[in-house]
């Protein structure tokens, strides 16, 4: 087995990716240490083009691999390569798996039961609630949630998995020493404790736009299926769906409002054959994950007074603003907000941001998270 530092060395070289790494392994009998120390003529004979060769020679002259490995270790990051048993099996099977994975946290065998939940950064209250219910429900059933740690749907999915007591994996489009977006610093720390952050990018790599489409092949590659929640017609989440199809993964989409741009991508996916998601059970059944753990027993919500009863008649799983609730039930807004606050404490309703409320569970059906 080649010392990992040589895998890291080649990963530092611009222009050497999965295809050229395979080529070098073939030319140098599976030994990247020999390839790293080979002269220019041998590397040209191995098939390196002029540009990749020049980049390799420059990196080799300026980078001390032992120092780089120490820098990685100091950050609490481990390295996995194609040669390692711990390298995710599902990812190993895709067309172009990254030769090197940087990992902060821990990947476990049970992470093979993983589903990706992704979507737009500009999520609506409906989209965030859908992500919360679906990711939380999957995590409650023992499924690891994979996403890209972006604002909006991705962050909601990660948080829901953690709140449900499950595991989650964040796949970054930058080096693991960079927190992006910066407001997710606390979330990334929680993910490291109950899952892992992973990236194919070297330390110090900034979150540039060109990094994210390749990153998406990893999100789908380590997952059994991909759930798209809110995606415009140009959303990066649709790139993840394309990768999933190419990799033979199941693609799911949550239906959305036909008048909202944020739903154009997901609704189009459904029209083109993606599996529509109306509940967590749709995903569990399609991926044969229903027996990962048992669903909790159903129970009814019993209102304690007339005000609660009227509010429950109007509320559903669809987020509604408190002003609209007050108009519909024809009660003073002060009475409505007071009642909703008490109902939230009792677990009957949940606030989902911007003074929008949803039922915590519908009558006769308990959601998989509270």
Q: What DSSP string describes 198-247? A: EESSPTT----GGGHHHHHHHHHHTSSEEEEES--TT-HHHHHHHHHHHT
pLDDT at 352 over 80: no
pLDDT at 292 over 90: no
- Domain residue limits, the chain: 1-68, 109-286, 306-359
At residue 293, the pLDDT reads 45
pLDDT in tens, 79-107: 999 999 899 999 999 999 999 999 999 99
Do 109-286 and 306-359 share a fold? Answer: no
At residue 111, the pLDDT reads 94
In degrees rounded to 5, what are phi and psi of residue 56?
-65, -45
Mean pLDDT, residues 70-74: 96
- Which residues fall within 8 angstroms of residue 327, CB to CB, at 6 or more apart? none
- Place 364 in a pLDDT band, splitting at 50, 70 and 90: very low
Examine residue 181 and say whether the peptide bond preceding it is cis (omega within 30 degrees of 0). yes
Least Cα distance to 193 among 169, 215, 160 occurs for 169
- The phi-psi region of residue 275 (left if phi > 0; otherwise alpha if psi is between -120 and 50; otherwise beta) is beta
pLDDT at 363 over 60: no
- Which residues fall within 8 angstroms of residue 303, CB to CB, at 6 or more apart? 309, 311, 312, 348
Q: How far is CA 13 from CA 37, 195, 261, in A?
A: 14, 29, 40
Contact, 160 vs 131, CB < 8 A? yes
Rounded-to-integer distance, Cα 59 and Cα 103, Å: 23
CATH architecture of 109-286: 3-Layer(aba) Sandwich (3.40)
Percent of the chain surpassing pLDDT 70: 92
pLDDT in tens, 297-342: 333 455 678 888 888 888 887 888 988 888 888 888 888 888 888 8
In the beta sheet, which residues pair with residue 365?
A: 362
Overall pTM surpassing 0.75 (yes/no): yes
CATH architecture of 306-359: Orthogonal Bundle (1.10)
Mean pLDDT, residues 5-29: 95
- Place 354 in a pLDDT band, splitting at 50, 70 and 90: confident
Mean pLDDT estimate for the chain = 89
In degrees rounded to 5, what are phi and psi of residue 173?
-105, 30
In the beta sheet, which residues pair with residue 80?
A: 101
pLDDT in tens, 103-152: 999 999 899 999 999 999 999 999 999 999 999 999 999 999 999 999 99
At residue 265, the pLDDT reads 92
As a residue count, the chain comes to 370
- Place 59 in a pLDDT band, splitting at 50, 70 and 90: very high
**Encoded tokens for 318:** 């669809």
At residue 302, the pLDDT reads 59
């Amino acid at each position: 087995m080649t010392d990992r530092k040589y895998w890291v060395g080649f990963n530092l070289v611009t222009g050497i990716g999965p295809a050229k790494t395979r080529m070098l392994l073939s030319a140098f009998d599976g030994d990247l240490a020999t390839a790293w120390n080979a002269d220019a003529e041998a590397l040209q004979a191995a098939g390196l083009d002029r540009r990749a060769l020049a980049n390799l020679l420059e990196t080799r002259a300026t980078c001390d691999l032992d120092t780089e490995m120490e820098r990685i270790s100091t950050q609490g990051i481990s390295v996995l390569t194609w040669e390692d048993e711990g390298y995710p099996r599902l990812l190993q099977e895709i067309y172009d798996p990254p030769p090197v994975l940087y990992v902060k946290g821990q990947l476990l065998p049970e992470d093979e039961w993983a589903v990706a939940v992704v979507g737009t950064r500009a999520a609506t209250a409906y989209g965030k609630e859908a992500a919360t219910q679906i990711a939380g429900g999957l995590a409650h059933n023992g499924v690891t949630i994979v996403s890209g740690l972006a604002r909006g749907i991705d962050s909601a999915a990660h948080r829901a998995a953690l709140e449900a007591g499950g595991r989650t994996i964040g796949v970054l489009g930058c080096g693991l020493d960079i927190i992006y977006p910066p407001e997710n610093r606390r979330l990334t720390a929680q993910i490291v404790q109950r899952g892992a952050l992973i990236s194919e990018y070297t330390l110090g790599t900034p979150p540039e736009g060109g990094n994210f489409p390749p990153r998406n092949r990893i999100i789908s590659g380590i997952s059994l299926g991909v759930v798209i929640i809110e995606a415009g017609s140009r959303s990066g989440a649709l790139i993840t769906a394309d990768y999933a199809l190419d990799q033979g993964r199941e693609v799911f989409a949550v239906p959305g409002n036909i008048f909202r741009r944020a739903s154009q991508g997901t609704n189009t996916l459904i029209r083109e054959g993606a599996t529509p998601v109306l509940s967590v059970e749709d995903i569990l059944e399609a991926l044969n994950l229903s027996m990962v753990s048992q669903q909790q027993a159903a129970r009814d919500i019993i209102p304690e007074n007339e005000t609660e009863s009227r509010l429950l008649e109007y509320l559903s799983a669809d987020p509604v603003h408190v002003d609209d609730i007050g108009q519909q039930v024809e009660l003073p807004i002060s009475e409505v907000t007071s009642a909703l606050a008490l109902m939230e404490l009792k677990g009957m309703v949940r606030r989902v941001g911007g003074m929008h409320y949803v039922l915590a569970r519908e009558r006769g059906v308990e959601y998989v998270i509270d």
